[in-house]
């Protein structure tokens, strides 16, 4: 499923990647750093900076490891959305 989210992100299909992420949550699939990273990257590519930040916050509260790749994707989403503050 992470592979599909990543493929959607690369194909510019952020909404499909986000929907897949939501389906994984609803199905109680264990989410990993890679799953979040792929979904945050998809949101970043789609200009969905608020969703990207929400996912980053969810990672922290869910105790999923936040790595450099995830932080960079969230920062890039804010940059693309011109959210500097």
Of 6-10, 16-20, 58-62, 71-75, least confident by mean pLDDT is 6-10
- Pick 18 or 66 by higher pLDDT: 66
Tokens of 65: 């490891």
pTM listed for this prediction: 0.84
Look at the block and give the residue holding tokens 């920062």.
Answer: 75
Tokens of 73: 């994707």
pLDDT tens-digit profile of 7-57? 566 656 788 888 888 999 999 999 999 999 989 988 888 889 999 999 999
Say what the pLDDT of residue 59 is: 94
Helix residue ranges, H only, 1-85: 2-10, 14-26, 33-45, 49-61, 68-80
Q: SS3 for 59-71, per residue?
A: HHHCCCCCCHHHH
Q: How confident is the model at residue 4 (pLDDT cuts 50, 70, 90)?
A: low
Say what the pLDDT of residue 54 is: 96
């Amino acid at each position: 499923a992470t592979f599909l989210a990543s493929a959607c992100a690369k194909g510019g299909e952020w909404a499909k990647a986000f929907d897949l992420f939501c389906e994984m949550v609803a199905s109680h699939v264990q989410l990993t750093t890679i799953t979040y990273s792929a979904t945050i990257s998809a949101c970043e590519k789609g200009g969905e900076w608020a969703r990207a930040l929400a996912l980053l916050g969810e990672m922290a509260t869910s105790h999923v490891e936040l790595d450099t790749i995830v932080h960079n994707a969230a920062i890039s989403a804010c940059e693309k959305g011109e959210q500097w503050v």
